[in-house]
Structure 1
Amino acid sequence: MMITALFGLFPPVTVAAGPYDGVYKQTANAECALVGADGGSLRIDEGIFYGVEVQCRMTNPVDINDMDATIYTMECSGEGQTWTERAIMMADKAQTGIYMIWDGYAFRYDRCEEGEL
């Protein structure tokens, strides 16, 4: 009974949408409705990156000065393993997509449109 009373004191916590939230094509001909599958799409939703057989919690965001970019600590799990890496997310100003930069790798993803999902 005391625990129920305590929960009433705190409002529910909601997670705000992040600046990179969306569904992105892995390739130009990707199937946007297939999130996390080969030939499909990737999704970023409320601080979690969903890739092909991998999921990463995007933590410790650090804005990069004078750029529309953020460095994240990616706490990842997939295929029975867990690991942590750093990654940079940056908006693509020329298009409606993002750049994702991992150590030694850079990817550009186009955003899926509403009609493609």
Structure 2
Amino acid sequence: MRALLFSLMTFPALLSAEGYDGLYHPEGQRGWLCDVPSLGQDGGALAIREGKLFGVENTCEMSNPVSVRDMDAVLYDLECSSEGEITNERVLVARSDTGVIVLRNGFAAHWRTCE
């Protein structure tokens, strides 16, 4: 019983965005930087770090992780801030052989891990 309680308490931590933490750039596009100072800028690095998704000129808080059965993927709620606007949406983040796939409603992107 104690082991079950412990696993239930730690399960959300297993789904956290930390499993996908890293610096990325769009697959197949040249000229993108892969360093922290360029994070979020046009042509700069993309990232998932500390529960946040950093895109181009936007930052999103990732919350309410839900594991996708039989896949190395997690569905998140996002609260995004971009150019003074706040929006809410969902995102699915899935591991790929070279980085992650970021799937939003109507849009999929393959982010390659920076090396």
TM-score higher than 0.5 here? yes
Residue in structure 1 matched with residue 22 of structure 2 by the alignment: 22
Kept in 1: contact 2:67–2:73 (CA 8 A): yes
Letter matched to residue 78 of structure 1:
S
- Normalising by the residue count of structure 2, what TM-score does the alignment of the two structures yield? 0.78
From the two aligned structures, give the one with the greater helix fraction. 2
Residue in structure 2 matched with residue 31 of structure 1 by the alignment: 33
Q: Structure 2, unaligned stretches of length 5 or more?
A: 1-15
In structure 2, what is the Cα distance between the partners aligned to 1:28 and 1:89? 23
In structure 2, what is the Cα distance between the partners aligned to 1:47 and 1:98? 15
Could you tell me how far 1:96 is from its partner in structure 2? 2.5
| SS across alignment from 1:19 | helix
Letter matched to residue 61 of structure 1:
P
In structure 2, what is the Cα distance between the partners aligned to 1:56 and 1:64? 20
In structure 2, what is the Cα distance between the partners aligned to 1:44 and 1:106? 16
The answer to whether the aligner puts 1:81 opposite 2:59 as a matched pair is: no
In structure 1, what is the Cα distance between the partners aligned to 2:30 and 2:76? 26
Residue in structure 1 matched with residue 67 of structure 2 by the alignment: 63
Larger radius of gyration: 1
Could you tell me how far 1:43 is from its partner in structure 2? 1.2
Identity %: 42
In structure 2, what is the Cα distance between the partners aligned to 1:60 and 1:81? 21
Letter matched to residue 47 of structure 2:
R
In structure 2, what is the Cα distance between the partners aligned to 1:90 and 1:44? 12
In structure 2, what is the Cα distance between the partners aligned to 1:100 and 1:49? 10
User: Could you list the runs of 4 or more consecutive aligned residues of structure 1 that deviate by over 2 angstroms after TM superposition?
Assistant: 26-29
Residue in structure 1 matched with residue 58 of structure 2 by the alignment: 54
